[in-house]
Amino acid sequence: MEPVRWLTDEEQRAWRRLAAVVLRLPATLERQLQRDAGMTHVEYRVLALLSEEPDGQLPLRRLAAQANASLSRLSHVVTRLEERSWVVRQPDPTDGRTTLAVLTEQGREVLVAAAPGHVAAVRSVVFEPLSERDVADLERIAGRIAARLDEPPATNNR
Amino acid sequence: MEPVRWLTDEEQRAWRRLAAVVLRLPATLERQLQRDAGMTHVEYRVLALLSEEPDGQLPLRRLAAQANASLSRLSHVVTRLEERSWVVRQPDPTDGRTTLAVLTEQGREVLVAAAPGHVAAVRSVVFEPLSERDVADLERIAGRIAARLDEPPATNNR
DNA sequence: AGCGGTCGATTGAAGCTTCAACTGAGTGTG
DNA sequence: CACACTCAGTTGAAGCTTCAATCGACCGCT
């Protein structure tokens, strides 16, 4: 039982602000997309990721990773997208285990329609208040934390 | 219909990383708290906020604001906390509209028990990978974005 | 005092996410 | 070839959040 290392004052201030961002930013974007495009943020990201692929398709596993979601969640999301015919499931011919999500023409259209509003929202909330230097610093810092979030299924402390 | 201002490459990189943090960090902390203390992150924050008050009580409205949650959500959270006797609701004698959430002795105990693990998780994920300068930059940048998230119920773009 | 408007809070339904259990396909080791 | 193991994906239940509707209390005018 080692002594608890609490946060320093500086760390506490930084953490409070980061926590506010981390808790409010998703809610804000969620609301904008839901209101203007009738889709959730995950759904948008899935469509966007698919549209970036040359053939508009990706295995669920990879979609999950790139969208920062669990595979289970992604499966549910794809089901919803499929119901609206924005995406179709297709078996992967090269591997019987994997399922491909394929972007439909309709899906591409709703994405194109939704994108400007979403980008405007992101720009308005995150980039407008930042200087160029801020953006560079943000990239560096978020990268370090994100890297940490990838790796450590390790034991909690130390 | 003005031309869409897409993100620059630099902005895109920063955004991708920020998005990863914003989407994964809450999930990570959520899991840690759920696993080790049987409570959600919001529940923890509510207990923590109450414990910081000299009299261990706060109106729901203020709790909601400080915990970055909607009032509705907070009401549900307090209901759950009340069921476990970690908090009690009490009418505010000075204003018939407001309800006070009051931390119970039990509530304080579970918070004390949960805190070290949570702080360790936060330190491990956000502060360990950061230099001192990073922390200062983070405070500045998160502050700017958080400020933006507070104000603008304004029209979406411009 | 009366009246509309705002404010704090509650509630229930709908929707999304998580978790754990499960299936079926591939891999590798004897 | 068989067995164990891993991997991708699916599914349903439980739980949490959101949204909209609702309520009573307070405020500001007249």
pLDDT tens per residue across all 158 residues of chain B: 667 889 999 999 999 999 999 999 999 999 999 999 999 999 999 999 999 999 999 999 999 999 999 999 999 999 999 999 999 999 999 999 999 999 999 999 999 999 999 999 999 999 999 999 999 999 999 999 999 998 755 443 33
User: With bands split at pLDDT 50, 70 and 90, how would you rate the model's confidence at A1?
Assistant: low
Interface of A with B in 39-78 (CB under 8 A): 68-69
pLDDT at A83 over 60: yes
φ and ψ at residue A109, rounded to 5 degrees: -65, -45
Q: Chain A contacts of B68, Cβ < 8 Å?
A: 19-20, 23-24
Regarding predicted confidence, which is higher, B141 or A152? B141
How many contacts, defined by CB atoms under 8 Å, are there between A and B? 181
What amino acid is encoded at B43 in this protein?
E
Pairwise CA distance, residues B66 & A20, whole Å: 9
Quickly give B97 CA vs D29 C1' distance in Å.
22
Query: What are the DSSP calls for B3-30, one per residue?
Result: PP----HHHHHHHHHHHHHHHHHHHHHH
Average of per-residue pLDDT values in chain A: 93
> What ranges in B2-131 are assigned the alpha helix state H?
9-37, 41-52, 60-66, 71-83, 105-122
Q: Residue B126: what pLDDT? A: 96
Q: Which of B23, B132, B151 to mutate to test the interface with A (most CBs of A within 10 A)?
A: B23
Contact A129, A141 (CB under 8 A): no
Looking at residue A4, what DSSP letter applies?
Answer: P
Q: Which of B22, B119, B144 sits opposite A134 (nearest CB)?
A: B144
Write out pLDDT tens, residues A35-80. Answer: 999 999 999 999 999 999 999 999 999 999 999 999 999 999 999 9
Quickly give B72 CA vs D19 C1' distance in Å.
10
Q: Residue A157: what pLDDT? A: 36
